A = this chain, B = another copy of it.
Amino acid sequence: MQIAIVLFDRFTALDAVGTYEMLCNIPGAETVFVAERPGPVRNDRGGLTLIAEKPLAGVTAPDVVVVPGGPGQVALMDNEELLDWLRTVHVTSTWTTSVCTGSLLLAAAGLLEGRRATSHWLALDDLAAYGAEPTGERVVTDGRIITAAGVSAGIDMGLTLVGEIAGDQYAQMVQLGTEYDPQPPYDAGSPRKAPAEVVDTLRAMKESILR
């Protein structure tokens, strides 16, 4: 089983690595970070660099595809090399997935037309503009496409996928191994829970957060 995680300039690190940390535990799975060109890829903050081991063209039939989000996604919405790759690998993948605004890339590739899907809460309207049906859920499965909400939701999506592929008990082992018993010190992780002032501040910053 091959799991391909797409990197691009100005991706969000936790989108990719949270999902990776769950999926890399699947027995017999090989994970590979891919990008248009192999080599170092910087994140959205510029302070973190991950290595892409292979070019997109070098990974032609992954079983699982993971597309993270991040402000760099904006510049890729008409990148035909990437969009063609997504369309092609989706034909044979078992699961095609995204985290955060990575779903906008799946949408731009035409893969979410008429499908239930999610994205970062600030990007749900953009997702609808591409013909998807956005939901407020954290992890959305529609057929063999799974989309996750913003950034940290990739962990929940990854663990869900471990369960689908390796079974519930194995997924529980992964959860215990990564001690994923979250205890956030605040309860402000969704626009339904955060104080109105906090939600309004982020809404006003939407452009700088997503682009």
Residue of B nearest to A16 (CB): B17
Bin chain A's interface residue count: 35 or more
Residue of B nearest to A209 (CB): B177
Q: Evaluate contact between B179 and A182: CB separation under 8 angstroms.
A: no
Q: Evaluate contact between B176 and A153: CB separation under 8 angstroms.
A: no
Q: Evaluate contact between B179 and A194: CB separation under 8 angstroms.
A: no
Q: Evaluate contact between B169 and A197: CB separation under 8 angstroms.
A: yes
Could you say how many copies of this chain the assembly holds?
2
**Does A57 sit within 8 A of B, measured CB to CB?**
no
A188: which B residues are within 8 A, CB to CB?
172-173, 175-176
Q: Which of A3-46 contact B (CB under 8 A)?
A: 12-14, 17-18, 20-21, 24, 30-33, 40, 45
Interface string of A34-62 (1 = CB under 8 A from B): 00000010000101111101000000000
Question: Which DSSP category, helix, strand, loop or mixed, fits chain A's interface?
Answer: mixed
- Distance A17 CA – B202 CA, assembled complex (angstroms): 23
Interface string of A106-124 (1 = CB under 8 A from B): 0000000000000011000
Q: Evaluate contact between A14 and B178: CB separation under 8 angstroms.
A: yes
Tell which of B47, B120, B178 touches A151, judged by Cβ atoms closer than 8 Å: B178
Q: Evaluate contact between B176 and A152: CB separation under 8 angstroms.
A: no
Interface string of A138-153 (1 = CB under 8 A from B): 1100000000011111
- Nearest-neighbour CB distance to chain B for A66, whole angstroms, equals 13
Given contacts A176-B199, A182-B182, 14 further A-B contacts (CB under 8 A): A17-B17, A18-B18, A48-B50, A49-B50, A49-B51, A139-B185, A150-B179, A151-B180, A169-B198, A175-B188, A176-B189, A176-B191, A176-B194, A182-B184
Q: A residues near B, CB below 8 A?
A: 12-14, 17-18, 20-21, 24, 30-33, 40, 45, 47-51, 53, 100, 120-121, 138-139, 149-153, 155-156, 159-160, 163, 168-169, 171-173, 175-186, 188-191, 193-195, 197-199, 201-202, 209
